[in-house]
Amino acid sequence: MPLGIGALTSLQTLSKIIIGEANGFKISELKGLMHLQGQISITGLHKVFNAIHAKEVNLQQKKGIRDLEMEWSDVFDDSRNENIEYEVLEGLRPYEKLRSLKILNYMGMKFPNWVGDPSFVCLTQLTLRGCKSCTYLPTLGHLQSLEKLFLESMNGLQRLDSEFLRPINSHDFGFPSLQVLEFRDMQGWEIWSTNGGDKDVSFPCLCEISIINCPKLAEVAIDLIPSLEVLHIEECSVSVLRSLVGVSSSFLELSLKNIKGLTQLHGEVLKHLGSLEHLYVTRCDELRYLWESESEACKILVSLWDLRVKFCKNLVSLGKNEVNLDSDSGICLESVRKVELFNCPKLKSYNCPNGIQNLDIYGCRSITSLTFPTLQDLPSTLKILSICYFDNFEANCLLNKFLSSLGYLSIARVPNLSSFPEGCLVHLTKLIIRGCDNIESIPEKGFGFLPLFCLRYLEINSCKNLKSFPHEHLQNLTSLEELWIRDCPNIDYTFPCVLWPPNLTTLTIGGLKKPMSEWGPQNFPTSLVKLSLYGKNSGVVPFAKSEEDVRNRNNTTSSSFVVPPSLTLLQIHGFMELESVLEELHHLTCLEELLIRSCPKLRDLPEMLLPKLSRLWVDSSSLELRKKCGGRKAKYWPVVSQIPDLDVG
């Protein structure tokens, strides 16, 4: 902090205040700054050793401050004195119209009386973090306007009881406006109990509770909170879940992560979840099933529409009885519309609900089947299907029968996929095929399996055995806007000259068997704005301004890429012999981003275009070019130094 700030008595904005050492900025310099307003953060309060100096700041009279953060060091050692810190905090009482207050790393065992005082009628958010010596909290239930309360890393706190939330008088509610309550990293917290106090006197508006990384919390005995809709429990014991799930019958969202002792959602938990719409379960390693009985879950979870289960390494099945369930039994969660199953390596099958719209399964390598109860066909409601890393899944069977309703299809790392049927994807707008090594050809009749007039995005990536691709029919994809064809080393022919999709805006291509230098002239559509060329083993491919420019070179058999002036992004990757792109790119007056990777011989840039760039990347392989860009004495430095997003070494 610069010295002399205390003399600026008309100063209104000073958002960050750092208390210095003996010869540094002193808190007493804030005394005369009566016009400060808005957001103020005071750090380094552990360097204040005289509480009188803190009181002289007279924060209580600085009426313009609305958001206040007070921070001590996060190092708790013998140089600090809890009594002094208590007196300092007591002297820093702010104006009562404060809206937000954060107290960080305070060492005192208790808080001054003003923390939680009902006179703070405008306080809507309170954060107490890292106050590790604190053994009990002030009565915060008096704060009439408090909407959000965050308690974090209060390691000395072992118990929360009714005193924490006690209202001003017996006729009022404790925390009458609180909507969000979060406990995080409370390593010593063991008991949360409000039993024994008056019923129905607390949390009338509370919507969301989060309890995160509170490993010792074992006893939760709180009164009913009918307004509670969201419960997030992470890195706690299953007893916390069992205790809290019964405080409300209005839960809309339940999120569970790394819950010790959770093997399944037992009936005593499920019975409270009749209103649940979102269920998220993550990294629960002891979980083998979500529930005991599939039929019981169906009767209770009648509102569930969003189900996500991720990184549960021992999950065998969603329902314990689902393993032997007949696919025609009709037992399934009819209300579910969205399902995500990620990295559950022991999951072998999934019985899809009839009304499902979005199904995303990733890294469940043991899955062999997806079944759809009561229907012999895939539900016509399915719009989005994404499957990745299915080692044993018979994808051909699924694709041959059921995909007429899909708008989005992504298939990645599914080795059993070998072909696509004709005419099944009639509503598809986005298709992604990645890492499917057994697929050898796209249907010989061109894109007969795709809707020519609604497909907007097509990506074929890293299919090492793909040999046949109907490039001559690309012009028929009149709605296609983005096209990726990359790293398919067995595609061995030239791509079209004037037969690119007419409305293409983004093209990423390269890494095919035939080098780009042998493709012949390429005239990209004038609609193109983003072009990424991956020139692995491609030799030199000269760019051209126009077809006339190509004809003037008197060699129509060699490759020349006519790049339209509409281009805003150009990425050149892996052109090992490319030395210069000076003249060929000067006409790209709209270019904003230029990315150059793995072009070791490239030594020049289109200098006229550089001032217009918002992004320039040159990787470490282009040593000579990087030398011309990096450093104040470099050739291009006066220009490239003005580029907002610059990475040249």
Q: Which residue, 101, 102, 88, 83, is CA-closest to 45?
A: 88
Q: Which residue, 190, 100, 185, is CA-closest to 147?
A: 100
- Between CA 115 and CA 120 the distance in angstroms is 9
Which range in 282-286, 332-336, 383-387 is most confidently predicted, on average pLDDT? 282-286
Q: How does DSSP assign 203-255, residue by residue?
A: -TT--EEEEES-TT--EEE----TT--EEEEESSBHHHHHHHGGG-S---EEE
Identify the weakest region by mean pLDDT among 127-131, 389-393, 563-567: 389-393
- For the segment 243-250, the average pLDDT, to the nearest whole number, is 92
Taking residue 573's Cβ as centre, other Cβ atoms within 10 Å add up to 19
For position 443, what pLDDT does the model report?
64
User: Which pLDDT band, with edges at 50, 70 and 90, does 296 fall under?
Assistant: confident
Which range in 120-129, 360-369, 394-403, 518-527 is most confidently predicted, on average pLDDT? 120-129
For position 322, what pLDDT does the model report?
60
- Residue of 438 and 129 predicted with greater confidence: 129
State yes or no: pLDDT of 139 exceeds 70.
Answer: yes
CB burial of residue 554 (10 Å; 0-12, 13-18, 19+): exposed
Three-state DSSP state, 347? coil
Q: State whether the Cα torsion 294-298-300-301 is positive or negative.
A: positive
Q: Which residue, 489, 443, 500, 495, is CA-closest to 465?
A: 489
Q: Which residues face 37 on adjacent strands?
A: 64
For position 194, what pLDDT does the model report?
80
- Record the tokens describing residue 367, joined without a space: 């899955």
Q: How does DSSP assign 361-413, residue by residue?
A: EES-TT--EEE-TT-SS--TT--EEEEE--SS--HHHHHHHS-TT-SEEEEES
- Residue of 580 and 180 predicted with greater confidence: 180
- Between CA 373 and CA 510 the distance in angstroms is 43
* Residue count (the chain): 649
- Between CA 100 and CA 582 the distance in angstroms is 56
User: Which pLDDT band, with edges at 50, 70 and 90, does 557 fall under?
Assistant: very low
CA 493 → CA 516, 530, 577, distances in Å?
Answer: 10, 23, 21
For position 539, what pLDDT does the model report?
62
What one-letter code names the amino acid at 126? L
The secondary structure element, H or E, covering residue 338 is: strand 338-342
For position 491, what pLDDT does the model report?
86
Three-state DSSP state, 244? helix
For position 28, what pLDDT does the model report?
86
Which range in 81-90, 134-143, 629-638 is most confidently predicted, on average pLDDT? 81-90
State yes or no: pLDDT of 528 exceeds 60.
Answer: yes
| Residue pLDDT, tens place only, 33-76 | 898 999 999 999 999 999 999 999 999 999 999 999 999 999 99
- For the segment 598-611, the average pLDDT, to the nearest whole number, is 83
State yes or no: pLDDT of 448 exceeds 70.
Answer: no
State yes or no: pLDDT of 583 exceeds 70.
Answer: no
Give the end-to-end CA distance of the chain in Å, rounded to a whole number.
Answer: 32
- Residue of 249 and 282 predicted with greater confidence: 282
* Percent of the chain with pLDDT strictly greater than 70: 86
| Residue pLDDT, tens place only, 300-332 | 999 999 999 999 999 998 887 665 544 444 457
Residues 6+ apart with CB under 8 A from 545: 562, 563, 584, 586, 587
Is 0.85 topped by the overall pTM?
yes
For position 402, what pLDDT does the model report?
55
- Between CA 500 and CA 552 the distance in angstroms is 23
- For the segment 406-435, the average pLDDT, to the nearest whole number, is 84
- For the segment 621-636, the average pLDDT, to the nearest whole number, is 85
Let me know: does 353 contact 325? Beta carbons within 8 Å.
Answer: no
- Residue of 7 and 58 predicted with greater confidence: 58
Residues 6+ apart with CB under 8 A from 397: none
Percent composition of the chain: helix, strand, coil (DSSP 3-state, to 5): 15, 25, 60
Domain map of the chain by residue range?
1-108, 383-497, 515-649
For position 256, what pLDDT does the model report?
98
- For the segment 192-199, the average pLDDT, to the nearest whole number, is 67
- Between CA 440 and CA 445 the distance in angstroms is 15
- Record the tokens describing residue 383, joined without a space: 């719009």
CA 568 → CA 508, 544, 586, 612, 634, distances in Å?
Answer: 14, 16, 13, 10, 26
Three-state DSSP state, 557? coil
Residues 6+ apart with CB under 8 A from 97: 63, 66, 121, 122
Let me know: does 520 contact 559? Beta carbons within 8 Å.
Answer: yes
| Residue pLDDT, tens place only, 371-406 | 765 445 555 788 999 999 887 776 666 665 556 788
For position 82, what pLDDT does the model report?
94
Q: Which residue, 455, 412, 416, 402, is CA-closest to 433?
A: 412
DSSP conformation class of 257: E
For position 168, what pLDDT does the model report?
63
DSSP conformation class of 494: P
User: Which pLDDT band, with edges at 50, 70 and 90, does 134 fall under?
Assistant: very high
pLDDT, mean over the chain: 86
